[in-house]
Structure 1
Amino acid sequence: MKRFCILLLAALAWCAPAGAADLAPQGSLVIVGGALRPDNAVVWQRIVQLAGGAGARIAVLPSAAANPEGSGAHLAAYLNHYGASAFVVPLAVRLPNRDYRRDAEDATLARSIREAGGVYFCGGDQALITQALVRPDGSRSAVLEAIWDVYRRGGVIAGTSAGAAIMSSTMFDSTRSVFSTLAQGVNDGRELAPGLGFIGKDIFVDQHLLARGRFARMLPAMLKKGYKLGLGIDENTAMVINAAREVEVLGYQGALLMDLSQAAVDPGAKDFNISNVRVSYLDRGDRYNLTSRQFTPSADKVEGGKLDPQKPATRAPVYTSDILGHNAVLVLMEKLIDNSQTEATGIATAGPGEARQELGFEFHFSRLADSIGYASATTEGYSILNLRLDVRPLQITRPWYK
């Protein structure tokens, strides 16, 4: 009987679904929104610290880069400058005179990664990362399984730009402009593709967020795939996510948290629409627990204090004709949270040469009873929680030029 039970348990373990061992990784993620500057010490140092501190072995994966050799060498040098002992893993579709499929199954490469304290994915084309690491049947290559082992046992998985996109189970792949994504929608196998899923199956991740107005394209993607929570991280900025699912923002700017838990769409409308999205801005130094939904402001926000809606800093209407422009959504949110006005509007229209010139979108933000703002005591920064966002299509009349 004892032998039978052992055999039964072994059989059950063998039949367990792939990824069962990944339910509770003990490591951390450092998700960088792209354009990470070499002098952004707080982010680089945190990666090295989470990998084990001074002398930590960090495997650099240049798989996404147009020039894997050059990008890998530069990133390893940056990490080493901040105290790591980084090395480049020669695994990329674009590496000349190498077979990336063979390299992905190479036991020596897999062992070198498994013995490291961290892994760093460079930027570029995220589709090249999944092409290099995922087998044609969708299973994990030996190298990808080694990367997961690093994460499971407590190491750090870091990535910038494309290396951030692969952190969720769905990622943008062949993308159009943000406006065209709203106007034409998203589809699996075209705009959307499977990511590597380090953050779990319940959180959608996007990058270059505020600088490129990409918060808007998160909405159709999240609706398409059923995500209730999304995190978008800006350039030269990182989200650190630990095993307790606590997010900490580091670096230059911040991240947007998109909550679709109470959102609804009008199925009778022809074009994209959504109502009752809750949008929050997490500034550098802020923390947010994805499980408990608890927000902890940074020290300078604690000192600056919670904003008093009865004592607004301004009474001016808030409006922008280009909500998809550089940092436009953040500027609008900051103006609204410390204002006697309770509503703000942003407009998006097609750019020159884009399809659907007659279509536009209104982004309507509302400050609600549970909307909260914190002001920094040392900078002009804000942390903003629970603004309501409604998006509806507009009919645009264009001038006729002869």
Structure 2
Amino acid sequence: MDCKIKRPFLWEKHLQFSPALTNFFGWQLPLNYQEGILKEAKNTRIRAALFDTSHMGRIVIYGEDRFKFLDKLITNNLPSNKRVCYSLLLDEKAKIIDDLTVYNGENFLLCVVNASNREKVLEWFNLHKERKISIYDDTFESCFFSIQGPESSSLLERLLKDSLDSLGYMDFGIRKIEGIEVIISRSGYTGEDGFELYVKNKFAEKLWDLIFEEGEKIGLSLAGLGARDILRVEAGYPLYGNEINLNTHPFEANLGWVVKYKDKEFIGKESILKILKTGWRRKRIGFIMQEKAFPRKGYIIYDKDEKEEIGEVTSGIYSPNLEKFIGMGYIKKDYAFFDNLIKIKIRDRFCLAQITKLPFINYRRKIRR
């Protein structure tokens, strides 16, 4: 495993904006910029924000057997041409190796994986490698940007000098911005309408500057890891290492919708069928604190009478968009119903919370026409 601290390709560019820095699975990344975490998260939902998510792993698969190879590894059906899908990689016991997005291009499959799992996924891919494929780690030769928020579409259209109406949620295409070839997908990790941009390093700084300069006209924020975490919790999205890991399976994590066990064969399917037969004891839930208290990862969840330990918090934030403390966690299934009251032990105090439906916010996605 590579223990050397890694930095985004545009590291010097980020330092110009005096970010607060944090270590994230071996990457040194901006936690926030001068506006601060809460303002960055709020502006994403009001206007738009630009994120550098180049720490995410980007693994490209080529070759005539690429579909056969990846189809047996992921739980979801492969996307059609110029589409993106969300899926899971499972081990033989149906535990989650990683969650990822898969792009189906003209002659390639692009897998965007978690920074914490890039090496593990590469090892898993190579373990199951077919003869007529090649696997290429493009993480350090490309950049991955994200523009999220209600103004993101108009901003990108002005740069493209073209409409994005034909690009629906989880569609992608190869477009040119000022002569720069960019893979643009209508996707993201916020629940907002937004786009993710994949570009080679040699064009990355120019593209970043173009986005930033045009974005200044509409009040675009630069946003770091802190705002991204707030936005993904508000959207009810799991994070590997928090809500999902090698100790969780898809159904308890509420990710059964990407497990196509009726349609296809994949590694872990036999264990999936056993889980469906025997059931499971816990479930991922969302909750809203009913008092001013910050629910942090690892805090223990109790029943409302404080008699029984029923689960654990996996993520907790203050939401500037809801103006409430919210979180996610796992609790025993018997207690996991909407509006049920629970208690979270914060230091020496039991604090009241109420289970709510996920997501916490309404998604604003552009569905394909």
**Same fold judged by TM-score > 0.5?**
no
Q: Which has the higher contact order (CA 8 A, sep 6+)?
A: 2
Name the structure with the higher strand share: 2
Question: What band does the TM-score fall into relative to the shorter chain?
Answer: under 0.3
Q: Rg: which structure is higher?
A: 1
